[in-house]
Structure 1
Amino acid sequence: MIPVPDLDIAALIRTEIKAAIRSEFSPIKSQLNDLQKSVEFITQQYDDLLKTTNTIMDNYKTIKSDTTHLSTTVTTLTERLNNLEQHLRETNLEIQGVPQRKDENIVEVIKKVADVVSFRLDDRDILNCTRVASMNKDSKRPRAIVVKLCSTRRRDEFYSAVVRYNKAHSNSKLSSLSLGFGGDPSIIYISEHLSPVNKALHYATRIKVKELSYKFLWVRNGRIFVRKDEVSRFIHVKNQQTLDSLV
């Protein structure tokens, strides 16, 4: 046998070790390559998802801004419409509690009210008058009368005469009996003719001030005011938010 030099044996061992290492680590290298590709894929997917999320957030902010603007516009338009409806009623009075008859003459009923409260009301002062449908269809109360007068000044004078009469006759305020109707007397209520929105707000305000023991509630030119007592400042109830803030 020919002897093998030690150097050749060492080289052979190193070659075999390298081959063994390559053989063992080759699958690991392959797995690492696959893992790297997976990480790169996931990273790309994350980047795409991040871009999509950013796009969605940008769209959300735009939609939110548009919605806020739209809500503000709707609120503004609603207020303008309510103001217009109230303006169209600025010379009107609403009379509640007058018994209803099939053959009634509403103009004569209104003139009778004026006579009772000592207010001079001419035919030319009355532009129009009619019974209006009740918002509550199940209500058994007579339908209200709405009268349109020739001017806001005449409306205010007529209304003031009613207020003076009721103050002077605190124990026998204006009623169906005052107008000559038989049967059980019913109180006649006369007020400014409010728009549907203001009428609903006025109704809610009446409930609220009763709960909070406010002493004063009145309407002036379609606007609702309250006052807790004689020394408190008056509050203009503009909307439900104002009403909710009362304490």
Structure 2
Amino acid sequence: MNYMDKKFEALAETFTTFKTSIAEQLTALTHTISTWESRIQKLETHAEKALELSAVIESQDQVIASLNTGIQSLKEQLNEQEQSHLRNELEISGITETENENLHHLMSLLAHKIGLDLQASDVDRVTRVGPKNGINKEPRPVVVRFIRNTKRNETLNATKVRKHITTEDIDIKGPPKKLYFNERLTKENRRLFREARTRSKQAGFRYTWVKNGCIYVRREQDKSPRQIRNCDDIERIFGKVTVSVPSA
């Protein structure tokens, strides 16, 4: 009995120790679980805030996209208004620039050469545009502003009939240089026209021209013309520019 009592006492002590150990481990586990629950709650809070922030950013992106669309539309409207202001103007390139030149007189000689009935009352002003170039540079273009758009168009048509007009035809000394006649374009439309001509050649389009301030391209004579108003039209007609990466 004494032996059994000692065994039971030892077993009771072991069980008490075991129970104490289990209690301590449960306390530590409970603390750990509580800590993880707190962290999970913080993560959930951060996740909710991130979702809210993502929604705000998405909303702001939509607003920015809408604003960019509006800004682009305003730019196109301003460009159209500016181009409309130039509807009576003709640009002549290639006229040699000299000191004390009389551009009105040169314009009269030119009108006579192309068989155009041009009166002084038909012209508002004749002037050169752009910064003055140095020696051996290309002469600045001459801009003629007519009183009426019909007279501007009549002049352009006359220059197309009488081609290969040179500086010699308007009594300018020196080697003959060919003159070029074009509608005057805004800075944006000049850029679009240059890009349209470049891309037309690359895509095999035969015709690129300007009429009444509008830019057109056409692949063949029997095809319908397509108007270019902005860069999106260029990409829509010719496709996006692909940049080839050289192989190593």
| Shared fold per TM-score greater than 0.5 | yes
Q: Is this contact kept in 2: 1:117–1:161, CA < 8 A? A: yes
SS of alignment partner, residue 53 of structure 1: helix
| Percent of aligned pairs with the same amino acid | 22
Mapping for residues 208-247 of structure 1, pairs under 5 Å:
208-244=199-235, 245-246=237-238
Shift of 1:126: 0.5
How far apart, in 2, do the equivalents of 1:120 and 1:45 lie?
86
The aligned residue for residue 246 of structure 2 is none
Q: Following the alignment from structure 2 to structure 1, what is the Cα–Cα distance between the partners of residues 131 and 114?
A: 26
Report the residue type matching 1:184 in the other structure: P
The counterpart of 2:157, out of the listed 136, 157, 160, is 160
3-state DSSP of counterpart to 1:178: helix
Which residue of 30, 55, 63 maps to 1:58? Answer: 55
Write out per-residue CA displacement over residues 12-36 of structure 1, whole angstroms, 9 at most, x where no aligned residue.
6885454233222122112111111
Q: 1:137 to 1:182 in 2, by over 3 A?
A: closer
Offset at 1:136? 8.7
Alignment match, 2:118: 121
Superposed CA deviations along residues 210-231 of structure 1, whole A, max 9, x for unmatched, are 3333222211111011112212
Q: Distance in 2 between matches of 1:47 and 1:139?
A: 73
Residue 138 of structure 1, CA deviation = 9.6
Q: Aligned pairs, how many? A: 237
Matched residues in 2 for 1:70 and 1:136: separation?
40
1:125, distance to aligned residue in structure 2 (A): 0.6
Any idea what SS the aligned residue of 1:218 has? Answer: strand
What is the rounded CA distance, in whole Å, between the counterparts of 1:157 and 1:200 in structure 2? 26
Runs of 4+ in 1 over 6 A off after TM superposition: 8-14, 135-139
Shift of 1:192: 0.5
Query: Which residue in 1 is equivalent to 2:97?
Result: 100
Q: Distance in 2 between matches of 1:214 and 1:189?
A: 22
Aligned counterpart in structure 1 of residue 180 of structure 2, from 180, 189, 208? 189
RMSD: 2.4
* Correspondence 1:18-57 to 2 at 5 A: 18-57=15-54
Contact 2:132 2:140 in 1 (8 A): no
Distance (Å, rounded) in 1 between the aligned partners of 2:34 and 2:62: 42
Is 2:208 the counterpart of 1:202? no
Structure showing greater Rg? 1
Shift of 1:243: 2.1
Q: Secondary structure at the match of 2:222?
A: coil
Helix, strand or coil: the match of 2:152?
Answer: helix
Equivalent residues of 1:134, 1:144 under 8 A apart: no
TM-score norm. by structure 1 comes to 0.87
Query: How many Å separate the matches in 1 of 2:65 and 2:132?
Result: 33
What amino acid sits opposite 2:198 in the alignment? I
Change (3 A) 1:138 1:87: farther
Q: How far off is 1:195 after superposition?
A: 0.4
Partner of residue 169 from structure 2, selected from 174, 178, 182: 178
Q: Deviations over 1:164-202 (max 9, x none)?
A: 112xxxxxx111111122211111111111000001111
